[in-house]
Amino acid sequence: MKKISTLFYTIKQGFKNIFRNKLFSLASIATISSCLFLFGLFYSVIVNFQNIVRTVEEGVCVTVFFDEGLDESQITQIGELISKRTEVSKLIYISADEAWNSFKEDYLGEYADGFTENPLADSANYQIYLNDVSMQSSLVTYLESVPGVRKINQSVLLASTLTGVNSLVGYISVGMIVVLLAVSIFLISNTVTIGISVRKEEIGVMKYIGATDFFVRAPFVIEGILIGLIGAAIPLITMYFIYEKVVGYILERFGGFISLLSFLPAQTVFEVLTPVSVAMGVGIGFLGSFTTVRKHLRV
C-alpha cells in the first residue's frame, strides 16, 4: 500500500513540476514537438522516397540470351541454375515468339505484316529480377561463367545510382536522428535543472527528514517523461492530418504526372512513426531528466 501511495505521490509531483515551471515546460514541449515534427516530416519523405526507389528497383532486371542451337531442355536447366541464386527474386522466360510479338506491338504496328518469318528467332531470354539491385554485379559475374549463355544485358549505371541513393538516405537518416536526440535531451536537461534550483530549499528539507534519493529524484524523472510524451503526441496528431491533406492534394492536382510515383497510405507510415516518435519522446524525457538530476542534485 505504501508503495502505491508513493507512486501516486511521485506522479502527482511530476505534474506539479510542469505547472510550477510553466514557461520552461512549454518551451521544452514546443521544442521537442518541433524536433519530432521535423523528424516525422523527414521520415514521411524518406519512406515514400524509399518506396519509389524500391518500385524502380523492382523493374530493374538482368537479361540473359542463349547460344544458338540450344533446345528447350538446356534452356530450362540454365533457368534452374539461375533461380537457385540468392540474388534472384523472380525469373521470367521470354520465348522468341513472345519477344517478336512484343516488339511488333510496341514498335511496328501494321508494318509487321511484311515479315514472313520471325527476325528475332534467336532472342529467347530470361529476365532476372533481383532481391537487391546492389547484387547485380555478383550475379552477372556468375552468369558469365554459365555454359550456354551468349549475352548479358544489365543496367550498370542505374544499379550503381540506386545503390548510392540507398546508402546516402541511410547516412542522412542516422545523422538527423542523432541531431534531434541531442537537441531535445539538452532542452529537457535545462528545464529539469531550473526545476531543481527553484525547489532547492524544499528538496533540502525533504532530505533532512529522511527522504531517499529515489523519492526526491523520481518526480523530476516523471516530469521529463511527461514533457517528452506530450511533445510526441502533438506533432503526431498534426502530422497525420497534414500528411493525408498533402498527399490528397498532390494526387488530385498533379495526378497525371504523379501517376508514375506511389505514395504510401497514412496508416502504413504512422504504424511505424507513432511508436518510434512516442519512444523517442519518452526516452528523451527520461534520459534528459535522469542524467540532469544525477549530475546536479547534490543536497
Give the residue from 286, 270, 271, 294 showing the smallest Cα distance to 184.
286
Residues 29 and 139 in one domain: no
Distance between CA atoms of residues 114 and 111, nearest Å: 6
Locate all alpha helices (DSSP H) within 96-212, ordered by sequence.
96-103, 136-143, 156-198, 200-208
User: Are residues 218 and 11 in contact, defined by beta-carbon separation less than 8 angstroms?
Assistant: no
Q: pLDDT averaged over the chain?
A: 75
Residues 74 and 149 in one domain: yes
pLDDT reading at 181 higher than 80: no
Chain-centre distance of CA 45, in angstroms?
Answer: 9
Residues 66 and 31 in one domain: no
Domain assignment present for residue 32? The answer is yes
Residues 184 and 283 in one domain: yes
Q: List CB contacts of 272: < 8 A, sequence separation 6 or more.
A: 47
Give the residue from 219, 270, 211 showing the smallest Cα distance to 241.
270
Domain assignment present for residue 36? The answer is yes
pLDDT reading at 145 higher than 80: yes
Residue 72 pLDDT grade (very low, low, confident, very high; cuts 50, 70, 90):
confident
Domain assignment present for residue 268? The answer is yes
Residues 196 and 96 in one domain: no
Domain assignment present for residue 194? The answer is yes
Amino acid identity of residue 26, one-letter, is L
pLDDT reading at 54 higher than 70: yes
Domain assignment present for residue 90? The answer is yes
Residues 205 and 285 in one domain: yes
**Span 100-115, mean pLDDT?**
61
Domain assignment present for residue 162? The answer is no
Residues 133 and 259 in one domain: no
Which of residues 128, 154, 180 is at a domain's end? Answer: 154
Residues 199 and 87 in one domain: no
Which pLDDT score, from 0 to 100, does residue 191 have? 62
Residues 13 and 85 in one domain: no
Residues 41 and 75 in one domain: no
Which of 187 and 286 is assigned the larger pLDDT?
286
Which pLDDT score, from 0 to 100, does residue 32 have? 80
Range of the domain at 89: 61-154
- pTM of the predicted structure, to 2 decimals: 0.65
Give the residue from 127, 200, 134, 209 showing the smallest Cα distance to 164.
134
Could you give the number of structural domains in the chain? 2
Which of residues 124, 154, 184 is at a domain's end? Answer: 154
Residue 129: CATH number of its domain:
3.30.70.3040
Residues 175 and 283 in one domain: yes
Domain assignment present for residue 159? The answer is no
- Which residue is listed with cell 519522446? 281
Give the residue from 200, 176, 196 showing the smallest Cα distance to 188.
196
pLDDT reading at 282 higher than 80: yes
Residue 287 pLDDT grade (very low, low, confident, very high; cuts 50, 70, 90):
confident
Domain assignment present for residue 107? The answer is yes
Which of residues 120, 154, 188 is at a domain's end? Answer: 154
Residue 22 pLDDT grade (very low, low, confident, very high; cuts 50, 70, 90):
confident
**Span 175-199, mean pLDDT?**
67
Residues 277 and 191 in one domain: yes
